Amino acid sequence: MLTIAFIISALQLSATASPSPPRHGVQHVSLTRRQAPNATADRVTAHMLATLLKHDVGFDAFRNNTGTAHPLDVGEVQVVHGIAKRAPSSSSAVLTSDGGSLWTVSAGVGTTGPNTQEQFPMTGIDTASATALFVNVACTTTPCQNIHRFNPTISTTSTDLHKQFAYNGAQISGNQYSDTATIAGLSATGLVMAVANSFPPTFSDYTTPPDALMGVAFPAISVTKSQPFPQTLNAQGSLTDPVFAMSLNGANAELTLGGVDSTRYAGSIQYTPVTTAGFWQINFDSAQANGQPSVGKTEAILDTGSREVIGDAASVKKLYATIPGSQTTTPGANNLYTYPCDTTPAVSITIAGLAIPFSADSFNLGPVGSTNQCLGAIQTAPKSTPPSRYWTLGDAWLQNAYMVYNFGEKKVGVAIPS
Residue 361, pLDDT score = 94
Tell which wins on pLDDT, 1 or 273. Answer: 273
214 φ/ψ angles, rounded to the nearest 5 degrees: -115, 100
Residue 403: closest CA among 33, 105, 125: 125
CATH 2.60.40.4070 fits 269-417, yes or no: no
CA 125 from centre of chain: 5
Residue 19, pLDDT score = 40
Residue 347: closest CA among 370, 314, 315: 315
- The pLDDT tens digits of the residues spanning 88-127 come to 455 667 666 555 468 999 999 999 998 899 999 999 999 9
Residue 66, pLDDT score = 97
Distance between CA atoms of 28 and 260, rounded to whole angstroms? 9
Q: Where are the domain boundaries for CATH 2.40.70.10 in the chain?
A: 4-52+84-257, 269-417
Residue 351: closest CA among 407, 263, 288: 288
Distance between CA atoms of 376 and 287, rounded to whole angstroms? 14
Distance between CA atoms of 222 and 224, rounded to whole angstroms? 5
- The pLDDT tens digits of the residues spanning 57-94 come to 999 999 999 999 999 997 655 554 432 223 345 566 76
8 A C-beta contact, residue 292 and residue 322:
yes
Work out the pLDDT band at 50, boundaries 50, 70, 90: confident
Mean pLDDT of 398-415: 98
Torsion of CA 134, 136, 140, 142, to 10 degrees: 0
E-state strands within 184-249:
186-196, 212-215, 243-247
Fold of the 4-52+84-257 domain = Cathepsin D, subunit A; domain 1 (2.40.70)
Residue 228, pLDDT score = 98
Work out the pLDDT band at 247, boundaries 50, 70, 90: very high
Residues written for the chain: 418
Range in 20-34, 278-292, 322-336, 388-402 the model is least confident about: 20-34
8 A C-beta contact, residue 289 and residue 345:
yes
Work out the pLDDT band at 21, boundaries 50, 70, 90: very low
- The pLDDT tens digits of the residues spanning 349-378 come to 999 999 999 999 999 999 988 889 999 999
Distance between CA atoms of 388 and 371, rounded to whole angstroms? 30
8 A C-beta contact, residue 315 and residue 298:
yes
Work out the pLDDT band at 43, boundaries 50, 70, 90: confident
Name residue 29's beta-bridge partners: 8, 93
Average pLDDT, the chain: 86
Q: What's the burial of 38, exposed, middle or buried (CB within 10 Å: 0-12/13-18/19+)?
A: exposed
